[in-house]
């Protein structure tokens, strides 16, 4: 059984989907050991408490990045977390933190990377006029929205869409993609060749 540590800053719908999919057996051999928010008001904290999960608020305000990250690392290590899942965690991680957990941090980004990294990816994609949008779950490395891709899911952009409709359509796929990625990383046989995650036969 692998221990997951979830990092959130806000709504936490991706986290809620992960929790649901563990119960549903779609993510095998994993449990959520700790949910950390860097913001006291994150709605996701309420969801976590309702589910009876252990939560920690490690406030990042006025804290140097690495100081904050060291507090998070200590909390994660105290729960023997194997895999860290960023789920709407809206703060850059320090290089120090990333080095502590090589290939043990996942992030979800609401675009088909490498298109539209950074903030407001859905808005960027909509404004650019792409016909296919989507989301990416990737390992975290020192560059923003950059590490090896684990899962991508695409959605069409419809002529009738506005930004909100596109955002919602992508979010639905995020909720599926993140669980697929976690299940793969926890249970799959793969290696990373360059940037490519390549499956190995069992």
Of residues 14 and 21, the one with the C-beta less far from ligand GRF: 14
Which one, 68 or 109, has the nearer CB to ligand GRF? 109
By the rule CB under 6 A, 147 interacts with ligand GRF: no
For ligand GRF, give the closer residue by CB, 70 or 146.
Answer: 146
Q: For ligand GRF, which residue of 18, 87, 133, 157 counts as binding (CB under 6 A)? A: 87
- From the list 68, 109, 138, 175, the catalytic residue is 109
With H, G, I as helix, E, B as strand and everything else as coil, classify residue 47.
Answer: helix
Answer for which of 4, 27, 36, 88 binds ligand GRF (CB under 6 A) is: 88
Beta carbon nearer to ligand GRF, 100 or 173: 173
Of the candidate residues 27, 85, 108, 155, the single one contacting ligand GRF (CB under 6 A):
108
**Segment near ligand GRF (CB under 6 A), from 56-64, 74-82, 106-114, 124-132?**
106-114
Please, which residues have CB within 8 angstroms of residue 107's CB and are 6 or more apart in sequence?
A: 86, 89, 137, 138, 139, 140, 145, 147
What value does the CA radius of gyration of the chain take, rounded to a whole number of Å?
Answer: 16
Q: Is 138 a catalytic residue?
A: no
Task: List Cβ<8 Å contacts ≥24 apart for 64-70.
Answer: 65/91, 65/92, 65/93, 65/94, 66/94, 66/96, 66/97, 68/38, 69/93, 69/94, 69/96, 69/97, 70/96, 70/97
Binding site for ligand GRF (CB under 6 A): 10-14, 87-88, 108-110, 171, 174
């Amino acid at each position: 059984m692998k221990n997951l540590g979830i990092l959130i800053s806000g709504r936490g719908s991706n986290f809620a989907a992960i929790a649901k999919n563990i119960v549903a057996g779609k993510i095998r051999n994993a449990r959520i050991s700790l949910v950390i928010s860097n913001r006291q008001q994150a709605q996701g904290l309420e969801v976590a408490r309702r589910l009876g999960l252990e939560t920690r608020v490690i406030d990042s305000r006025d804290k140097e990045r690495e100081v904050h990250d060291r507090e998070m690392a200590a909390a994660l290590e105290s729960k023997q977390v194997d895999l860290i899942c960023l789920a709407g965690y809206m703060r850059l991680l320090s290089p120090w933190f990333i080095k502590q957990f090589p290939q043990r941090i996942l992030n979800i980004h609401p675009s088909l990377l490498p298109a539209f990294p950074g903030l407001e990816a859905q808005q960027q994609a909509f404004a650019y006029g792409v016909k296919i949008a989507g989301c990416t779950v990737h390992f975290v490395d020192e560059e923003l929205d950059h590490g090896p891709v684990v899962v991508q899911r695409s959605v069409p952009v419809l002529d009738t869409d506005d930004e909100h409709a596109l955002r919602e359509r992508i979010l639905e796929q995020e909720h599926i993609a993140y669980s697929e990625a976690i299940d793969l990383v926890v249970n799959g046989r793969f290696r990373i060749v360059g940037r490519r995650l390549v499956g190995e036969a069992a």
